[in-house]
Structure 1
Amino acid sequence: MRYLETRKARIEIIPMIDIMLFLLVFFAMLTLRMIPSSGHVTKLPTSSTAVAIPHPKLLVEINPDGSLQVENHTLTPAQLTELLHQRDSSKTAVTIAGSDTSSLQQVMTVIDAIKAGGATEVGLATRTAAGK
């Protein structure tokens, strides 16, 4: 009598494969989002102590001519300060990505504008020295 026989439990693997494929696609898309939002190619300076940081809430790029690029808009330091005042800048993490030809004065001008806007988390984007 087949109806009275106990059947062995089986672990179905197909749904697990589907979930793992979904997670793979999700994390691949999340990783691609880590590329700076403006899409500009910036030659970052190198550092032997560079570490990976979370995706910035606001990315400020210093162009070789000294202009600032924020969210695909060219701004002055005063306009950057005003932009930070409009946001909740105390919770905004700002990352500065300067080209390798940017001067220290340009970087300090941007940092002063960010501090005047009220942001407290400021990071500098670099490449590792081995990434050359």
Structure 2
Amino acid sequence: MFTKLRTKRKPMFMIIPMIDIIFFLLVFFMMNSLQTIAQKALSVQLPQAQHASAPVQMPIIITIDAKGHITLDNKPVSIQEASVMMRQHMAENPEAAVVLQADRQTIHGQVVAVMDILKAAGVKRLAIAAEQKG
């Protein structure tokens, strides 16, 4: 009776939408990895300074949160452990830079105690982290 006269079409590769998707995924993963690297173990609210700047080298980072907990390169440590570890770091690399990140709510005595440990360990290059006023 009726015959279907349909021509079979070959499937086509749509390359432009595939390239768009690949670029979108690339940008997504790049931004995600940058955000992951930027975040540190403790969330602290840095005080603001007019002339704050980022250091050039990868320094040793000591963080003190609002409750006084100390981390050394993202590892929670006691004040005694921080002292021992800093002495080891400075013995290996006497020119190492140290960045002290203290929450603005941190007790001043805790910050002074950590700075005293750093001085005893022989730290010559100490920076206190602050956010730039915007």
Secondary structure, in 3 states, of the residue corresponding to 1:100?
coil
> Which residue among 44, 51, 54 is the counterpart of 2:53?
51
Pairing of 1:113-128 with structure 2 (within 5 A): 113-128=117-132
Deviations 1:71-111 (A, max 9, x none): 23221222112112222251221100111111322211111
Residues 54 and 103 of structure 1: CA distance in aligned 2, closer, same or farther (over 3 Å) = farther
Pairing of 1:8-47 with structure 2 (within 5 A): 32=34, 35=38, 38-47=40-49
Deviates more, 1:46-55 or 1:105-114: 46-55
Secondary structure, in 3 states, of the residue corresponding to 2:94?
helix
Instruction: Give the superposed CA RMSD.
Output: 2.5
Deviations 1:1-21 (A, max 9, x none): xxxxxxxxxxxxxxxxxxxxx
TM-score (norm 2): 0.64
Pairing of 1:50-69 with structure 2 (within 5 A): 50-69=52-71
Letter in 1 for 2:52: A
Identical-pair percentage: 21
Letter in 1 for 2:108: L
Residue number in structure 2 paired with 1:112: 116
Whether the 8 Å CA contact 2:42–2:65 is kept in 1: the answer is no
Whether the 8 Å CA contact 1:96–1:122 is kept in 2: the answer is yes
Residue number in structure 2 paired with 1:79: 81
Superposed displacement of residue 120, structure 1: 1.1
Higher radius of gyration, 1 or 2? 2
* 2:99 equivalent to 1:99: no
Aligned residues: 102
Whether the 8 Å CA contact 2:48–2:132 is kept in 1: the answer is yes
Structure 2 unaligned spans of 5+: 1-26
